[in-house]
Structure 1
């Protein structure tokens, strides 16, 4: 059965019944479609246990809005969250609200949450859970299972159990499946996987999430600078990190800022703010193209037919550059390409651009000759080859060079590369025209 439509226009009893019939993900989806007031009303209609589940799955920005409207109820819901979810929410609410929410926590929960807030924003330490079941390397399988039963209710996951030595240093990990299938008297050291794959709390959260995904792990232990266990990054939290990064890259590749919340919950002014700065920057960049055309105004006056193909060349170069940039940014995001691969990537894309340019030139030279004559056809063919080669070279190298100096590749990808290629492509076009036509 498909989920019902938005619920802010029906009476409260029917609202309650319709929300109760939905799974948690569907409730989260419906709340994201509502205006803030309707969202708060609908959320209050949920049973307390279900409300906590729904709240955990909401985007942090929507959580912050609900906290502002829930008042006295916010503290109990905040206390029911996992420490990593609390840390994400506290980044969204005003400092005064954050202090009140922390003060209402039980002392041990406050310490656990505050420990995460001590790590840099965007780090693995902010996204890990400090609530982890760990056992000493000298423990038996039976004792480990008893430990999981005793402490597992409060842990983020019991499917992965870190095995630690002296000083809480991680010696290995053991899966719950391996524990259940092993003899209870067997030392856990004999069934654990060692050495364990770990990430550091100060590592970038995206890099740590890639470790979880690429290794196919249900989670990885998180360690501090002295390799002591401080938490665990689970696969669900890792996937959330990667999804957020993918949304951010997709938005910036398209020339906008990420919304970080459901579309229908964003105000029109919010949509404007996410786009206007990029458009202003691109207008400034595009003015270079106008400057190039003005510089070659005399050449255009002598051979008016050159102007006919300017839109075609601009579109072709911009598209070729955007294709290369998008491909490389994505390959970099999933770890297929690293910053040290710049030379290999540029070489491949340069050859790709050359072959694409030759193909397009062969296809397009005939119509160009029919429209503007053989000389213009030659100019156009040479320019298409040069522009495609230039576009794929720039489109592949700029994102990797940006990443090497610590800039998000998506910021300098498709829109800026397209504008840059437009400008340089026109310079190439008019330079070739001057040489071939003798103007």
Structure 2
């Protein structure tokens, strides 16, 4: 490789003496004002304008003068429209295009297309669309009494709804375009995996006759991802009554069917179940309580749903109301004990009314002649561990007698210990008060 040549400077650096360098550091240097920032006053010298700028100014003045003359003429001459001021850089070019005329032509074309579409959309189609939207100033459509009893079969719930709706005389039938549209939506939802859902399906929670339209999409054929998207849609956009109906008719049967068939819950269905807790009142009314009061509920279903309750924060009022409803069950059920244990273990500050109902629930088993399972003893242990200090003395005594009758070799001694300790603490406090007096 050849040796790189050094670039010679055309000037020599001028070095100042050491004295000047030291003095220059003590004071700030004066900057010469730039020519653009020089103030123009009465005493200022006139600034010369560049030749290119002066030609542009003259050209603009000439065009303005020409426009004023044309306005006063009765018959202006035919010529091309003047270019816009934005395109002043292309004034000298002969091939400049007229952008303003193109915009006007596009706007007129869009207006013509809009009018054509308005003519194609007749009054009958507009009335059919407005029929499914809630009227202004009127309350939302309430679900009729077409379905009178709670459906218990896992696969037969939606078929029962179809039979009730087909036998009822509503006086109105869905339009053919609506039926064909939502049948096509149902085909898309049966193959949905990820991405955007159809826009027509997003409007479903706001439609008045949403149950009839929902059946057109055939929820039995939905994928698990579709169930998740539908749960999100109803939980965020629908009114509470419609959310409860959707949970009871679509979400709960699908969850139970999946657990029965595979022994576990699909990931998307578990996410849908978690999203359903966005409306806790609807979740308890339409999923947990019907599942707990159903005789066919398995412990696996109860454990899967209770695992979700452990991970999720739930308001105390909804949990307290659910505990009262569970405590009203007459016969013993394993899923009830599972749900009660999970909700009690959250250690809420429950009202005394709820606590009394829980204590009375366990005291009712005093007359039961059968041996109780371990789940019952575990639930009682969690209750005593959490709320023994909040119980009255007679309640603790009644539970102590209950543990003597319904005894478990390893759990009952622990229950008795938690029931006796609060009595000792109260006796010590009362003796201390007497000594102070």
State whether TM-score is above 0.5: no
Structure with bigger RCO (C-alpha 8 Å, 6+ apart):
1
TM-score by length of 1: 0.23
TM-score by length of 2: 0.23
- The structure having more radius of gyration, on CA atoms, is 2
Pick the structure with more helix per residue: 1
